[in-house]
Structure 1
Amino acid sequence: MISDPELDGAGETRPAQQAEQVEAPPRGREAGRAGARRPWLWALGGAALASAVWASGLYALGDRLAAPGLSYRATENLCQDFEARALSRIAGDLHRYRPRNRQDDHPAVRRATCMLHNGENVSTLTVRAQVDLHRRTDPGPEFDVPSARFFTETDAARTEEVRGLGERALLLVGLGDGSVELKVLHGGAVFTVLATGTGSEPNTPADTAALRAAMVEDARALMTALKE
C-alpha cells in the first residue's frame, strides 16, 4: 500500500516510500518464481536419473535376451546326419524304409526333422529326430517347460534329468502310448529325439531302459556329427 504524500519545505509533494514499495513486489515475485523453479529442477534431475537407470537396465536385459552363440552347423539332410545306430541295434535298421527328411529355414529358428521307421507297412518303432537352431532368442529359459503332450497324459508322465549330455538334457517318460522323448539343450541349439513303440509283438521296444540308453547314445552321436 502506498502512503499519502508528504510536504517538504518548498511546498512540493514527494512520494516518500513509493520507489521502494513499487520495486518490492517484483523482488518478491522473482523470489517466488525462483523458489517455484527449484522443485521443478529437482524433479527434472530425478527424472533424468530414473531414465538413465531404466536405460542401463534395458541394456543389461538386452544382453540377457540376445541369441546365444551357436556351435553347431545347420544340416541339409538330418536323416543322413542322424544315423540312429544304437536304436537300430534294438529295433532293426531304421534307415532301410524310406526316411523322411525336412528342413524349415525361418529367420528366428532353423529347424530340421527326420522320421524313421523299422518297417515298410507295419513298424514296431517310429523315431523322430529334430534339431532347432535358435538365431534370435535364448531357448534356455523355456527349455524346462514340458511339452503340451505332457499335460494330456496320466499322472505317470514325468521328466528325468540326463547328466553329461549338453548343458541340460531331459527325458519325458511314462507316456500312455509308450513314447519316450529326449530333449538336449546346448547354447542356442535344441536336439529332440522322440521314440514311439507300436504293435503288440513281444520285441516291441516300448518305454524301456534299453530304449532310453539308445536314444541318449544316438543323440550324443548326432551332436558330435553337427559340431562345428
Structure 2
Amino acid sequence: MITDPELDGEWDTAQAAEAAEPLAPRERAAAATARPWLWALGGVVAASAVWAGGLYALGDRMAAPTLSYRATKNLCEDFRAQALTGITGDLHKRPVNQEVGHPALDGAACVLNNNADSRDFAVYVNTALHKKVDPSAEFDVPSVDDLVNVGGLRTEEVPDLGERAVMTSWAGEQGLNLKVLDGGAVFNLRVFAVTFAEKDARPATDSNAVQAALIADMRELMAALKE
C-alpha cells in the first residue's frame, strides 16, 4: 500500500480474462442468450447500446453526482505545486492552461515545466467535474493512451485521499500519475522525468520523494477547489 509519504507493498498486475459463453442449442434458439459486455478503453465504459438490465445494475452510479468542487477558470493558478517545486525547481516559468465547459462536464488542464528551454521535469494536471453521471463507474478503466504508448503499468491504491486514489507508474517509475475520485470530480496529476539523478544543478531525488510530493500537491489542489 502507498502511505503518505512513502510506498510499501507489491504492485498488483494480474488481470482476469473472462471466457465467452457457448451458444444455446438450435432447439432453444428462441430463448434469450446471455452475451458478455463489450468493454472499451479510453473512457468508454460500455458498448454504445446499454440494455435496461445494465442500467438497473449500475443503479445510483448512473445518477448525477453531488459536486463538492468548483470549476476552475485557471488551473495553472490554482495548482501551486509547492511540493514538486521543492524537488524540480520553479515549474511556472511557461505554464500552458486550458478549460472546457460542457453541460455534462467541466474540465481543465495545466502543463508545467521546470525549465522553459531544456526541461527535465514536466508536470500535467487535469480536473473533470462530472455533472450528469457519477464517474465512479469508470474510475478503474485505464487510459488507452497509457496502455498503447507506455505499457507496463503498475498501480497501487493510495489510502486516505478522496473517496478513492491510485498511483500508477511506468518506465522505471520515471513516469508517475496520481488519480483521485472525490465528490463527483476526477483529478489527475502526472510527472514525466528525464531522470531522478542530479541534473543541471537540481539535486538527485527518488521516486518515493516524488510520489510524496504528488500526494501533498494533490491535497492542496483539492482544498483550493473545494466548495
TM normalised by structure 1 equals 0.68
2:84 is aligned, of 87, 97, 116, to: 87
1:116 aligns with 112
Within 5 Å, give how 1:60-99 maps onto structure 2: 63-95=60-92, 97-99=93-95
Contact 1:103 1:113 survives alignment (8 Å): yes
Question: Between Structure 1 and Structure 2, whose CA radius of gyration is higher?
Answer: 1
2:188 aligns with 192
Q: Distance in 1 between matches of 2:154 and 2:133?
A: 27
> Going by fraction, where is helix more abundant, 1 or 2?
1
2:123 aligns with 127
2:99 is aligned, of 97, 103, 107, to: 103
TM normalised by structure 2 equals 0.68
Residues 220, 171 of structure 1: alpha-carbon distance in 2 compared, 3 angstrom cutoff? same
Residues 136-194 of structure 1 deviation map (CA, whole Å, 9 limit, x = unaligned): 01110110122224423344x21011001000000111336821011000021001001
Unaligned runs of 5+ in 1: 1-54
Q: Which of 159-168 and 203-212 deviates more?
A: 203-212
1:227 aligns with 226
Q: In percent, how many aligned pairs have the same letter?
A: 49
Residues 147, 213 of structure 1: alpha-carbon distance in 2 compared, 3 angstrom cutoff? same
Residues 158, 103 of structure 1: alpha-carbon distance in 2 compared, 3 angstrom cutoff? same
Unaligned runs of 5+ in 2: 1-51
**Count of residue pairs brought into register by the alignment:** 172
Within 5 Å, give how 1:135-174 maps onto structure 2: 135-152=131-148, 153-155=150-152, 157-174=153-170
Report the 3-state secondary structure (helix = DSSP H, G, I; strand = E; otherwise coil) of the residue aligned with 1:221.
Answer: helix
Contact 1:196 1:206 survives alignment (8 Å): no
